[in-house]
């Protein structure tokens, strides 16, 4: 477990532990059991394991753990302003929620977008939900990454800023609870995953530039 990741859950852990303390004080076994299960869930949610990161400037790794929900060709109108291939990854509450840099490079863009909290599986969430957009300029291309909240995820936590130079697999932020992460690739990239694939952040190769 990493302190930085666990620290993001400090308020949640405090509430759950207080709930357990109340159960102990009142002698309510059922409440203590619920609190214990919630502690286990939170520890599992805020886990942040080390990963083996594939080398190569042409290799693009998954920016998040989860399932590939869609692969589409569409206009990326915020940063690149050109047609891209977008790989959308859905993160359930049981996935690691720390986001990793898909390539090594310099962070050249970061912008927060307020919005709704639709279910991250809803096709409209990409346009309507609260999100944080990033751009990383690498040796071969500039990639755009979007962290998108869901119905349960209500907070996006950035750990990096514009101007930072990050290695591939670097932990640049996290989303608390179920959510969605999108990676916008150049049209010349070869996508190496398909819809339904389970991917592991910083470890699974999703494309080659």
What pLDDT, in 10s, does the model give residues 107-134?
999 999 987 767 667 777 777 788 999 9
The reported pLDDT for the residue numbered 94 is 87
CATH of 59-208, one of 2.70.70, 1.10.3470, 3.30.9, 2.160.20: 2.70.70
**What are the distances in angstroms from CA 109 to CA 50, 54, 130, 136, 208?**
26, 25, 17, 7, 22
**Which of 126, 160, 179, 204 is labelled catalytic?**
179
203 included as an active-site residue: no
The reported pLDDT for the residue numbered 149 is 86
The reported pLDDT for the residue numbered 39 is 86
Residue 60 binned pLDDT confidence (cut-offs 50, 70, 90): very high
Rounded to whole angstroms, how far apart are CA atoms 178 and 98? 12
What pLDDT, in 10s, does the model give residues 148-175?
987 665 678 899 999 999 999 999 998 8
The reported pLDDT for the residue numbered 11 is 79
Mean pLDDT score across all residues of the chain: 90
What pLDDT, in 10s, does the model give residues 14-42?
888 898 999 899 999 999 999 899 888 88
Reply yes or no on whether the pLDDT at 78 is more than 70. Answer: yes
Q: What is the pTM of this model?
A: 0.87
CB-CB contact of 157 with 174 (8 Å): yes
In the chain, pLDDT over 90 holds for what percent of residues? 64
- Residue ranges per structural domain of the chain: 3-45, 59-208
């Amino acid at each position: 477990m990493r302190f930085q990741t666990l620290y993001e859950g400090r308020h949640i852990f405090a509430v759950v532990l207080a709930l357990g303390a109340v159960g102990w004080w009142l002698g309510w076994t059922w409440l203590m059991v619920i609190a214990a299960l919630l502690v286990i869930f939170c520890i599992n949610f805020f886990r942040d394991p080390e990963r083996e990161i594939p080398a190569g400037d042409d290799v693009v790794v998954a920016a998040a753990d989860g399932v590939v929900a869609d692969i589409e060709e569409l206009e990326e109108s915020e940063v690149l302003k050109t047609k891209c291939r977008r790989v959308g990854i859905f993160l359930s509450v049981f996935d690691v929620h720390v986001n990793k840099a898909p390539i090594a490079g310099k962070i050249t863009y970061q912008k927060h977008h307020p919005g709704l909290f639709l279910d991250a599986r809803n096709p409209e969430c990409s346009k309507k939900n609260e999100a944080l957009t990033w751009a990383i300029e690498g040796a071969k291309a500039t990639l755009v990454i979007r962290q998108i909240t869901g119905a349960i995820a209500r907070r996006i936590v950035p750990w990096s800023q514009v101007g930072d130079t990050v290695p591939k697999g670097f932990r640049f932020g996290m989303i608390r609870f179920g959510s969605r992460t999108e990676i916008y690739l150049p049209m010349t990239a070869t996508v190496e995953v398909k819809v339904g694939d389970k991917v592991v952040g910083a470890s699974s190769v999703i494309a080659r530039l």
